[in-house]
A = this chain, B = another copy of it.
Amino acid sequence: MKRKLTLKQIAKDLNVSISTVSKSIRNSTEIGEETRLKVQAYAKLYHYTPNNIALSLKNRKTKTIGIIIPEIVHHFFSTVINGIEHVANDNGYNVIICLSDESFDKEVLNMEMLAKGSIDGFIMSLSKETQFKGDFNHITEVMNQGMPVVMFDRVTDEILCDKVIIDDKAAAYEAVQSMIDKGRKKIALVTTMDYISVGKLRTDGYTKALLDNSIPFDENLILKIDDIVNSELTISTFLKDKAIDAVFAVNELFAVTIIKTATKLGLNVPNDIAVIAFTDGIISKYSTPARSRPTSSPLGSLRNHIRPNPTIRSLMAAKILINRLESEEEEEGEENYRTEVIATHLIERESTN
């Protein structure tokens, strides 16, 4: 079996010492020009590339960042990865991606694997199951070993570390407020289970908007969905039984399902029932490939929406991590973690209702 070319091999082939080869390749002026050029030519000819593993060992840093995200069949995370890669590459870092697949066990395994030396730090978004269990020992563990962690989007208060989030509560508040302003009376909420931090915060925004407007909070107007794929019937019943004239959905898939269900029930969206949601653009992309007539698709009815831009956040997360990595060299003071909150606002299209 062929092997990667090493300094040792070059040294042997050229009858010089390993140090000489190393210095020549790094173009050190310490080495005489003749030798230097000879070695360089040889290295180039045989496509020598230094072994990163050896470099990592020597330098005690890998110059790579690990990303752990729940899933990737999702436009959102794809954008996130691109953003992080961009900043990383600009700063001489590489990026490794691992998927937790929304599973706690996979998240733990992936973190453990990467923490065994493969990377210098993490950027992560918690899996659903992890948020549900509330078990964050794997993260504490990694941080105890001196690895910085930046949490992204799906975060937890139980871990002290850098975080990048959007102001979910405020954005939700704004959305619900806008519905109230337009005269909607019975505003329902379709959200996730409470353990999803993001869903929880958006729910809080909804609740607060109602309170601030002295609208009585009605628990029956809240629908918590665990598995959207099998929930059309639930939603149908929900919409039918209450005289709801507006729905705030915490994500795009929920919104699509709601709009479709409402339409099937003979309701006109947005006239009979308005729908506002957080979106990420992926579903509308698939639903209306050509975009020529937005109103022909479910999302067309979703004129007003909140679309958090993942790019800004991913750039920010990468910068924070790299910053910490570079400054950490000597320092001891760790406690100054920051939580970056990116403002996010409701997008209202012209012909709103």
Per-residue B-contact encoding for A46-63, CB less than 8 Å = 1, 0 else: 010111111011000010
- What residues of B have a CB within 8 angstroms of the CB of A145 in the complex? 2-5, 47
- What residues of B have a CB within 8 angstroms of the CB of A49 in the complex? 112, 115-116
Nearest CB of B to A74, in Å: 7
A332-B1 contact in complex given A47-B141, A78-B72, C-beta closer than 8 Å: yes
Give the oligomeric copy count: 2
Per-residue B-contact encoding for A69-106, CB less than 8 Å = 1, 0 else: 00111110110011000000100001111110100000
Establish whether residues B82 and A78, one from each chain, have CB atoms under 8 Å apart when the complex forms: no
A1-B146 contact in complex given A57-B54, A141-B47, A286-B283, C-beta closer than 8 Å: yes
Nearest CB of B to A319, in Å: 19
Q: Which of A13-21, A242-250, A252-260, A339-347 contacts B (4 or more CB under 8 A)?
A: A252-260
Number of interface residues of A (CB under 8 A): 69
- What residues of B have a CB within 8 angstroms of the CB of A72 in the complex? 72-73, 77-78, 81
Establish whether residues B290 and A231, one from each chain, have CB atoms under 8 Å apart when the complex forms: yes
Nearest CB of B to A77, in Å: 8
Establish whether residues B229 and A289, one from each chain, have CB atoms under 8 Å apart when the complex forms: yes
Residue of B nearest to A232 (CB): B290
Question: CB of A117 within 8 A of chain B?
Answer: yes
Establish whether residues A329 and B52, one from each chain, have CB atoms under 8 Å apart when the complex forms: no
Establish whether residues B78 and A71, one from each chain, have CB atoms under 8 Å apart when the complex forms: yes
> How far, in whole Å, are A116 and B56 apart by their CA atoms in the complex?
11
Establish whether residues B97 and A113, one from each chain, have CB atoms under 8 Å apart when the complex forms: no
> How far, in whole Å, are A191 and B270 apart by their CA atoms in the complex?
38
> How far, in whole Å, are A47 and B145 apart by their CA atoms in the complex?
9
Q: Which of B1, B73, B115 contacts A75 (CB 8 A)?
A: B73
Nearest CB of B to A100, in Å: 11
Question: CB of A228 within 8 A of chain B?
Answer: yes
Establish whether residues B230 and A144, one from each chain, have CB atoms under 8 Å apart when the complex forms: no
Question: CB of A351 within 8 A of chain B?
Answer: no
A82-B101 contact in complex given A4-B145, A146-B2, C-beta closer than 8 Å: yes
